[in-house]
Amino acid sequence: MPVPSFTTTCLGNRIIARDVYEFLLQKPEGFSYKAGQFVLFDVPLMENPADIQTRAFSIASAPQEKELLFVAKMKEGGRASRWIAEALNAGSSVRLQGPFGVSFHRDEYWCGTLSCTAYRSTGVR
C-alpha cells in the first residue's frame, strides 16, 4: 500500500528550552492519526535544498487538536536540526509522509512509546 504523503504549512516555530524547538503545522486535509504515531519529514540539506532525506518526528498534538505539534531536540550539525533551527518558519512549506507506528495509547492501558513527545498526544483530552 502506498504511504500517504502531504504538503502543509508551518504555522510557527519557537525555542521552548535549550536546544529544544516546538513547531506547529497546519493539519493537512485528509490526515488522521492515533496518539503516539509519528511522521517522516522531507528534510533538505541546507547547502543543497534538492538533496532530501527523511527524518522521523513524533506527533505531540492529540488527534482532536486542530493543528499538528512537534517538539525537536537539536543534534549539533544534524540535518533536521539545522533545517528546524535555520529554515523552518511560519509560512514554510513542509512535506511529510505518514502517519506511522503502532505504539499508541488505548483506553484500557498505556503502550510504550519512543519519546516523551508522543506521550503528550495521548494525554490531551
Ligand X SMILES: Cc1cc2nc3c(=O)[nH]c(=O)nc-3n(C[C@H](O)[C@H](O)[C@H](O)COP(=O)(O)OP(=O)(O)OC[C@H]3O[C@@H](n4cnc5c(N)ncnc54)[C@H](O)[C@@H]3O)c2cc1C
Q: Which is nearer to ligand X, 29 or 63 (CB)?
A: 63
Q: SS3 of 83, please?
A: helix
Minimum separation from the CB atom of position 112 to ligand X (A) = 12
Report, in Å, the least distance between residue 77 CB and ligand X.
3
Cell numbers at residue 19, please?
536546544
Cβ-Cβ contacts under 8 Å for 14 (sequence gap 6 or more): 21, 22, 23
Smallest separation (angstroms) from ligand X to the CB of 60: 7
The residue among 91 and 112 lying less far from ligand X, judged by its C-beta, is: 112
Question: E strands within the chain?
Answer: 5-17, 20-26, 38-45, 48-58, 67-73, 93-100
> Of the two residues 29 and 102, which places its CB atom closer to ligand X in the complex?
102
The count of other CB atoms within 10 Å of the CB of residue 91 is: 9
> Which is closer to ligand X, CB of 29 or CB of 48?
48
**Binding residues for ligand X (CB under 6 A):** 38, 55-58, 71-73, 75-81, 114-115, 117
CB of 58 to ligand X, least distance (A): 4
Please list, in sequence order, all residues whose beta carbon lies within 8 angstroms of the beta carbon of residue 51, skipping any fewer than 6 positions away: 44, 45
Which single residue brings its beta carbon nearest to ligand X?
Answer: 78
